[in-house]
Amino acid sequence: MADNEVRKIMEMNRLEDEEKELFGFDLSEFTTTQEIRRAENPWLTQQTIQLLITHYLNERIGSGMYILGDSANKTLRLSADARAAILADLRNLQGVRSAVRRTWENYLSGKKATISITFDAESASKNRDSLFITALHPFARQAAKYFTAENTSYLKIKHRSDTLPVGVYPFSIYAWRYTGSNPYSRLVTICENAAISRELPDILESSPTELTGQVEHDPSWDALELLHAQEWKAAKEKYLSDAANTAMFRLESLENTHRNRVRALEQQISDTFDDQIKRMKMGELETVQADFDKRAASIQADQTRSDIHTTLLANGIIVVEEM
């Protein structure tokens, strides 16, 4: 039992690394509570990856039924024109060539319209000829890349609740990219209703979501932009303050270490009467000083680069109905 729990934790950490590479930003803020409960990341489940790819195909080549089958093992059916369009996206996707990529490319460049695929690990182990579509499969990666374009997405969500106030609420989702000594990214949800804003990450995971290309502009989104700016300003001030304190601590630690190394080398130089050893130690002293200067400059550069860059990912409307 303990070994199984350890394996779950290791797998969860691996999936977190995969999600950052897949989407380009960290979704851990959205998943922490659920991961504690279920020891899995809901944003990388087979259902989520299949939904991502389905949206990608419908947006890229037009609405249609491309993934067929109700069982875990499914059939992907693409016309010659559709395969050519997806192949063009694949060739624009960066990454090392691998057997998985070659197999996918061979299907897209071939003449056969169908191929067996699965999003399920157990099914993949039983059907070795099926393409196993994981978060890092080229198919999933090119789908994710397609939706990381500069255009803002628009979402419509319906949610039933017996605790949240009934109504229609505009919201916005931003990606915050932190730069500096420990760069990372996270998603930030903005809604004028604080209760909705707190629950929105869970709602996005569990409620039916409609991705629409064009919607009528809601003036409330302009107000949310101002609300976001206020939240970003407060977060940036704290982040820069923390970065300055961290840089000061790192410099003090570096200076203490450097001082001790210099003192030890100077004592060795003073104690020796061998000119060759003295020259060697003086050379080490110069190296230590150069290393210190380089590290100190790096710490200061990290502090200078510290910032929070924001990108609007989506505007949306959530309709809360009574349970």
pTM, rounded to two decimals: 0.59
Structure tokens given for 316: 């949306």
| Domain boundaries defined on the chain | 45-146, 150-323
pLDDT (average), residues 3-13: 48
Whether the pLDDT of residue 89 is over 90: the answer is yes
DSSP 157: E
Structure tokens given for 269: 């130089």
Asked which of 110-124, 130-144, 202-216 is least confident by mean pLDDT, the reply is 202-216
DSSP 98: -
- 165-179 pLDDT, tens per residue? 899 999 998 888 899
321 vs 50: CA distance, rounded Å = 27
The set of residues, in sequence order, having a beta carbon less than 8 Å from that of 241 and lying 6+ positions away, is none
Confidence class for position 254, pLDDT limits 50, 70, 90: very high
pLDDT (average), residues 243-261: 93
Whether the pLDDT of residue 6 is over 60: the answer is no
CB atoms within 10 A of CB 83: 21
| Beta pairing class for 167-179 and 184-190 | antiparallel
66 vs 56: CA distance, rounded Å = 11
- 193-249 pLDDT, tens per residue? 988 888 888 887 776 655 555 556 677 888 999 999 999 999 999 999 999 999 999
The set of residues, in sequence order, having a beta carbon less than 8 Å from that of 19 and lying 6+ positions away, is 26, 27, 41, 43, 44, 135
The set of residues, in sequence order, having a beta carbon less than 8 Å from that of 141 and lying 6+ positions away, is 22, 93, 95
Give the angle subtended at the CA of 182 by the CAs of 181 and 188, to the nearest 5°. Answer: 130
